[in-house]
Structure formats: structure tokens, C-alpha cells
Amino acid sequence: MQKLRDKIAIVTGGTSGIGRACAEAFAREGAVVVVAGRRKDVGEDLARQLGHGAVFVATDVARPADVEALVKTTVSRFGRIDMVVNNAGSTSMTGPIAETDPAAFDADLAVHLRAPFLAMKFASPTMAARGGGSFINMSSISGIRAGYNVFGYEVAKAALVHLTRCAALELGEKGIRVNAISPGPTRTGIFAKAGGVAAGTADSRMAEVERAFASILPAVQALPGMIHAEDVANAAVFLASGDARFLHSHQPVVDRGTRARQPGGPRSARGGVAGWPFPRDRGSQGGSSLGTCRMGPLSSLRTRLV
């Protein structure tokens, strides 16, 4: 039996990684999926593959007008919104703190914090009018434990968990459930880019990234093995379904025990683990600044991909 049969679902950042896996999983469970993203050709192709009425809506979640238009377009076409997966993300250009352009910090907040707020702002009235709905905000292990990414991304993801709690208090009175998922290191292009891989080759080098990450797993996870996007998507399906009807203001962590183990080793002056430099790919566009910040396991990963 399909758990999301004929539900209307928006998935932001739906053209790749966890977002794409969520879109595919929701469609398999019977949902009509509205794929939101910036890559028109990829998004339209995915919508055709998903079938069952799926559509693509070009959306840059950093632009409030785009988020509002996404919601209005969905309601205009389908009459309602049953669930929204706030998944869109980007690599961070923040860190070290003293060297960070404030605009880079603002960019992290715009994509990872403000965009989910805007989706809830614009979509919650139509959900409330129908007596309920579900928001699933994609946070990160980096929002729970410091040192797994650069600070701008981590701060935004931590704030998103608390935004989820605050929204749950208000929207729960209207029958709207609000939950978050905090994935650990996941086999996606954005993780590869955060590890220093050039944006243009991130997707094609994922097998290499996974092999490199395997070499540092004992220092990072209690249950070794890189998380796959489908693992996170399965958690999202559960939270969106009736099976989770009593889960509200919940933040499940999909991390293979990452929280149970803090990477060891002496810390460098900049907060990374000594001996784990990971210079960014030469000519990379859109990679993070972890090469200078040298934060935790991602920094270690960089040395193995150069």
C-alpha cells in the first residue's frame, strides 16, 4: 500500500542528492511531487521520470519571491499542499570567522534557514485551511555537533532545528506537523563539494569520495558506512506518512552513530584536527573554504581526494 497516495508534496533542492532521492521516494509512495530547484533541464527531466503528475518549478530558495511563487504555483495547479520537504542546500563559503565576508554568512542563513521559514510562512495558511499538513526540514549532524563543517553552515542548521521546534508549537494548533531530519555524512554531490571536489566533477567522483571517506570512518562513526541519500529519503517518507501522525517537533538523526563519537586527535590552531589539511581543488567554483578552516572529518577527507 502506498503511504502517500495522491498527496501533494513540494521538495526543494529536488534535482540532486537527498532532494532527488526524496522526490523519487515520495513518487513511489504515490505522491504528486512538485520538484523545486534551479536547474531547469534536470528538473523537467526528473519530473517526466517521476510521472504521476509531477512537475518542476524553477526556484532559487534564496529569493523570497521565488519561494512565494513556488507555493502559489502549486496551489493554483493542484488546489492544495499536503507536505513540504525543505531540503535545498549549498556549500558554505564561511570560515575562519575573522576572514569571512559577512555576505557569505548571510548566504548560508538565506538558503538553510530563511528559505524553510519562507516555505512555512507561505504554505502553512493553505494547510491550515484544509486542517493539516506536514513540513520536514532538512537539518544536519552539523547542527548538533560542532566541528563537522564550517561555522556558517553549522549555525544555520542548528538554528533550523530550533525553528522547527518554534514552528511546531504554533502550527501544531492548526493540525500541521513540523519535524526535522539531521543526516550525517551522506553520499551526495554537495558533500563531495564540501570535501573539496570541484563542482563540475562532484557527481562523477562519488565512488571515489565514498572510498576516501571509508578510510576515516573509525574516527567518525560508531557504525561505519557512508549514508546514502535513499536512507534519508526513507526517513522523510515515514515522517510525511500517517505512520508518523503523532511525531511532532521531532528531530530524527540519520547518522550511523556519528554523534556517539567525536573525532580524536590534537586540535590545530584553527579548530581542525592536526595532520588533516585538505586543500581545495584547483579551479573549483562553488566548493567550500574548508581548505583554510580545516574542520574535522571533512578536512581529513580532503587529503584523500587530492
β-strand pairing of 8-12 with 83-86:
parallel
Answer whether 273's CB lies under 8 Å from 267's CB.
yes
Q: Could you identify the residue written with the cell 542528492?
A: 17
Active site annotation includes 153: yes
Please compute, for residue 247, the number of CA atoms within 13 A of its CA located in the half-sphere on the CB side. Answer: 19
End-to-end CA distance of the chain, in Å?
A: 46
Edge-to-edge strand order for the sheet containing 8-12?
55-58, 32-37, 8-12, 83-86, 133-138, 176-183, 253-254
Peptide bond into 96 cis (omega under 30): yes
| Residue 303: other Cβ atoms inside 10 A | 16
Answer whether 189's CB lies under 8 Å from 210's CB.
no
Alpha carbon distance 99, 108 (integer Å): 16
State the angle between helix axes of 115-130 and 64-78 in degrees (0 to 180), rounded to the nearest 10: 30
Catalytic option among 78, 117, 153, 213:
153
Catalytic site positions: 153
